[in-house]
């Protein structure tokens, strides 16, 4: 709730005995009955649980084999609360084939259970960025103090070099297309893209004025033209890494580089864009987001 620093929950008996171990089996077996199905008709069942052993026990009691039970993600991600069941469903769909029957149940104020049958359309959804790809690109944090700082549990001296200025909310609203949408401009005369959008073409021998169209950069890959690591700036995860990115198809922008170690970076390394939190303005309670460059594995 609000700025609570710690998760709060009541005692385990309330969560377990009077909670998930009662609601989830009731929802799952109730839905199976309603659909005239038995556990063996189901390819994958997805339901969250706070404890790995209870998760397995619950599935067994319901009559599912371990192979039918979708991984709980407790070891790879942890308990994510409300999204947990949906993340498990997304992960189940990544391995699903047409005809598979999938059952997904949530846990919160009670339990909702939904039954799905996979169609041929699943093939079109494959090879999109999903749970697997995000898990394979995760970066473990080796420094626990950094984690405490990320969670605002220990005070850290802010760098005097780059104190945050107040969030200009009106500017964020006015320029939301180029901030949130990562939309720049492309010259209609010579085709040169540029970010942020320009009125005057940046190509020296073109000179077109006000002949621009919107051009989206968020879906373009790029290459690192230059980069640096800054140990003195304001960044929760020092060193702050940023660099110039040249986009495929043209255009260049100065961006934070994230999900990487400084010593892994190389000039000309391919990167892709990712929408991330830029900072949190504590005084005004404003979270600010922008696009960052993420190095692609080669």
Nearest approach, Cβ of 208 to Zn ion (angstroms)?
Answer: 4
Nearest approach, Cβ of 200 to Zn ion (angstroms)?
Answer: 9
46 binds Zn ion (CB under 5 A): no
Pair 52, 74: CB distance under 8 Å: yes
Alpha-carbon distance 47 to 23, whole Å?
Answer: 11
The pair phi, psi for residue 126, each rounded to 5°, is -70, 165
The DSSP element (H or E) to which 171 belongs, if any, is helix 169-174
190 binds Zn ion (CB under 5 A): yes
Alpha-carbon distance 118 to 96, whole Å?
Answer: 7
**Which residue in 187, 257, 271, 293 binds Zn ion (CB under 5 A)?**
187
Give Cβ neighbours of residue 208 (< 8 Å, ≥ 6 apart). 187, 188, 189, 190, 200, 201
**Which residue in 97, 151, 174, 189 binds Zn ion (CB under 5 A)?**
189
For the chain, how far is it from start to end, CA to CA, in angstroms?
41
Q: Which residue has the tokens 């033209």?
A: 225
Alpha-carbon distance 227 to 137, whole Å?
Answer: 21
Identity of the residue, 61 or 199, whose beta carbon is nearer to Zn ion in the bound complex: 199
Nearest approach, Cβ of 206 to Zn ion (angstroms)?
Answer: 3
Report the number of secondary-structure helices (H) and strands (E) in the chain.
9, 11
Paired strand residues for 127: none
Nearest approach, Cβ of 190 to Zn ion (angstroms)?
Answer: 3
200 binds Zn ion (CB under 5 A): no
Identity of the residue, 63 or 191, whose beta carbon is nearer to Zn ion in the bound complex: 191
244 binds Zn ion (CB under 5 A): no
206 binds Zn ion (CB under 5 A): yes
Give Cβ neighbours of residue 220 (< 8 Å, ≥ 6 apart). 247, 248, 249, 251, 273
**Which residue in 16, 101, 146, 203 binds Zn ion (CB under 5 A)?**
203
Nearest approach, Cβ of 198 to Zn ion (angstroms)?
Answer: 9
- Taking CA atoms, 265 is separated from 150, 182, 224, in Å, by 23, 24, 9
Identity of the residue, 180 or 208, whose beta carbon is nearer to Zn ion in the bound complex: 208
Identity of the residue, 138 or 188, whose beta carbon is nearer to Zn ion in the bound complex: 188
Identity of the residue, 15 or 206, whose beta carbon is nearer to Zn ion in the bound complex: 206
Alpha-carbon distance 27 to 15, whole Å?
Answer: 16
Nearest approach, Cβ of 138 to Zn ion (angstroms)?
Answer: 41
With CB under 5 A as the contact rule, which of the stretches 1-9, 17-25, 70-78, 206-214 interacts with Zn ion? 206-214
Nearest approach, Cβ of 219 to Zn ion (angstroms)?
Answer: 22
151 binds Zn ion (CB under 5 A): no
Positions in the binding site for Zn ion (CB under 5 A): 187, 189-190, 192, 201, 203, 206, 208
């Amino acid at each position: 709730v609000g700025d609570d620093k710690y998760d709060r929950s009541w005692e385990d008996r309330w969560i377990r005995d009077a909670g998930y171990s009662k609601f989830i089996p009731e929802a799952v077996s109730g839905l199976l009955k309603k659909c005239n199905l038995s556990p063996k008709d189901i390819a994958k069942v997805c339901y969250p649980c706070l404890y790995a052993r209870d998760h397995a026990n619950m599935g067994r009691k319901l009559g599912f084999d371990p192979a039918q039970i979708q991984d709980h993600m407790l070891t790879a991600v942890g308990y994510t609360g409300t999204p947990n069941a949906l993340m498990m469903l997304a992960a189940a769909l990544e391995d699903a084939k047409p005809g598979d029957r999938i059952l997904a149940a949530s846990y919160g104020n009670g339990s909702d259970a939904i039954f799905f049958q996979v169609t041929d359309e699943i093939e079109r959804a494959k090879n999109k960025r999903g749970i697997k790809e995000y898990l394979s690109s995760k970066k473990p944090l080796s420094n626990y103090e950094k984690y405490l700082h990320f969670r605002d549990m220990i005070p850290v001296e802010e760098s005097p070099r780059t104190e945050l200025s107040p969030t200009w909310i009106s500017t964020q609203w006015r320029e939301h297309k180029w901030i949130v949408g990562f939309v720049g401009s492309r010259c209609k005369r010579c085709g040169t893209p540029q970010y942020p959008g320009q009125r005057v073409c940046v190509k020296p021998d073109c000179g077109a004025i006000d002949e621009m169209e919107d051009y989206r950069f968020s879906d373009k890959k790029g290459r690192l033209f230059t980069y640096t690591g800054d140990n003195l700036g304001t960044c929760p995860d020092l060193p702050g890494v940023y660099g110039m990115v040249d986009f495929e198809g043209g255009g260049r922008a100065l961006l934070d580089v994230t999900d990487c170690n400084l010593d892994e970076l190389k000039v000309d390394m391919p990167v892709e864009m990712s929408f991330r939190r830029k900072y949190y303005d504590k005084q005004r309670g404003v979270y600010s987001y922008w696009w960052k460059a993420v190095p692609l594995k080669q």
